[in-house]
């Protein structure tokens, strides 16, 4: 099955700086890579995703890049703000007979300091 | 707005008890999922279901079973709870498709004493 590794496990940045979180996956057949944000005490929510036919996608201050050859993808947050503090999970969609199964990374605790 | 609800936010059970966790979604989603979340281990898939009465094992199914008798409801069952099943349990649902968003419930914090 799919295996997703995520680094770093914790990341501390100053407000206004950029943050980068990196993930690698093992199954070259995986074709969909979402990122979820989980604020303290709340449920995970999708913030951005990328499909395997695209190399980069941006949405305001967040962007995701995908390198299919190297099997890694990254989340970039620019001009970080205190409300960006949360746990971020990357995931990869694994092809299975039943459909939409995601394998998640172990999460990155991002702290944006004032 | 998609709504995924779980039957309890907090639950305390004793070792050996049978435990039922229920999840309900109101958006007619075909797929439903049960994850457990532990610090440093991320979200690990226990079971998922892509249709009524259909289920597929995830990465950590041992000690768990599931039931999906109606499309909107997906139950996770711990036949005989053990202390190592103390965790946060998250339910999610999604449409069928090659790349669609999973919508999560608020989670159930289960403690097994």
Give me the count of residues in chain A. Answer: 114
Residue A96's pLDDT is what?
A: 67
Let me know: does A71 contact A28? Beta carbons within 8 Å: yes
The size of the A-B interface in CB pairs under 8 A is 72
Query: For residue B54, which residues of chain A lie inside 8 Å, CB to CB?
Result: 98
Give me the residues paired with residue A45 across strands. Answer: A37
CA distance A33 to chain B (A): 8
Cα maximum dimension of chain A: 47
Contacts of B21 (CB under 8 A, 6+ apart): B6, B7, B8, B11, B34, B75, B76, B77, B78, B89, B91, B108, B110
Let me know: does A30 contact A95? Beta carbons within 8 Å: yes
B2 has a pLDDT exceeding 70: no
- Reduced to 3 states (helix: H, G, I; strand: E, B; else coil), residue A83 is helix
| pLDDT tens column, A42-66 | 999 999 999 988 899 999 999 999 9
| Interface touch A32/B44, C-beta < 8 Å | no
Q: Does B48 touch chain A (CB under 8 A)?
A: yes
Backbone angles phi, psi at A47, to 5 degrees: -115, -30
| pLDDT tens column, B77-111 | 999 999 999 999 999 999 887 678 899 999 999 99
| Interface touch A106/B45, C-beta < 8 Å | no
| Interface touch B107/A43, C-beta < 8 Å | yes
| pLDDT tens column, A6-30 | 999 999 999 999 999 999 999 988 8
Backbone dihedral region for residue A100 (phi beyond 0: left; psi -120 to 50: alpha; all else: beta):
beta
Residue A99's pLDDT is what?
A: 65
């Amino acid at each position: 099955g799919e295996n997703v590794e995520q680094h770093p496990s914790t990341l501390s940045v100053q407000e206004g700086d950029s943050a980068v979180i990196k993930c690698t996956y093992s199954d070259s057949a995986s074709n969909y890579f979402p990122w979820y944000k989980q604020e303290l005490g709340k449920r995970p929510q999708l913030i951005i995703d990328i499909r395997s036919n695209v190399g980069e996608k941006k949405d305001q201050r967040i962007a995701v890049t995908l390198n299919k050859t190297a099997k890694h993808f990254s989340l970039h947050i620019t001009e970080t703000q205190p409300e960006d503090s949360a746990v971020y999970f990357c995931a990869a969609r694994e092809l299975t007979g039943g459909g939409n199964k995601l394998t998640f990374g172990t999460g990155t605790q991002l702290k944006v300091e004032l | 707005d998609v709504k995924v609800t779980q039957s309890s936010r907090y639950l305390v059970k004793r070792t050996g008890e049978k435990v039922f966790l229920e999840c309900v979604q109101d958006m007619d989603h075909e797929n439903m999922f049960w994850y457990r979340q532990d610090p440093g281990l991320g979200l690990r898939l226990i079971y998922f279901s892509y249709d009524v009465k259909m289920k597929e094992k995830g990465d950590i199914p041992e000690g768990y079973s599931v039931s999906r008798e109606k499309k909107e409801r997906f139950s996770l069952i711990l036949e005989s709870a053990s202390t190592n099943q103390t965790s946060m349990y998250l339910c999610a649902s999604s449409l069928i498709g090659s790349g669609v968003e999973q919508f999560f419930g608020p989670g159930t914090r289960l403690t097994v004493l």
